[in-house]
Amino acid sequence: DAMVIQNPRYQVTQFGKPVTLSCSQTLNHNVMYWYQQKSSQAPKLLFHYYDKDFNNEADTPDNFQSRRPNTSFCFLDIRSPGLGDAAMYLCATSRDKGIDTFGSGTRLTVV
C-alpha cells in the first residue's frame, strides 16, 4: 500500500545529543511536511519541501533542520535536543490542496 512511513516509532535521546528522524513515502507526492505535536495540542508546522525547495516556518527554532535527498525521503535533524523538544514528530505529504497523508509519527523522548 502506498503510504508515509516514519522510523523509528519511538526514539529516546540524551539532552544535547543530535538525533535524526526519517520519513519515506511511496505516494510520489511532491510536497513533504514536518510537524511537531505536543500532548493534547494540534500539530504545529516546522517546515515543508515543495519538490526540492525548502520552506521554513518563521518560528521554527534553528535547532531543527531538514534534508530531502530525493522525492521519497525526508529527514528531520534536531541538533541539540532539549527537554522541550519531547513530542510526536509527524511527517506528511500532499499532492494538491491540504494534506493527504500523515505518517504514524515518531515519539521523541529526551532524557
Q: Which of 21, 36, 46, 105 binds another protein (CB under 8 A)?
A: 105
Which C-beta is closer to another protein: that of 12 or that of 15? 12
Which C-beta is closer to another protein: that of 17 or that of 52? 52
Task: Indicate the residue type of 74.
Answer: C
List all residues 6 or more positions away from 10 whose beta carbon is below 8 Å from its beta carbon: 106, 107, 109
Q: Which grid cell is 53?
A: 525547495
The CA angle 42-93-63, to the nearest 5 degrees, is 60
Which C-beta is closer to another protein: that of 13 or that of 107? 107
Rounded distance between C-alpha atoms, residue 10 and residue 4, angstroms: 16
Under rule CB under 8 A, residue 48 binds another protein: yes
Under rule CB under 8 A, residue 53 binds another protein: yes
80 secondary structure, DSSP code: S
Under rule CB under 8 A, residue 50 binds another protein: yes
Q: Which of 11-19, 67-75, 78-86, 99-107 is the region at the interface with another protein (rule: CB under 8 A)? A: 99-107
Q: Which grid cell is 36?
A: 511537531
Total interface residues for another protein by CB under 8 A: 29
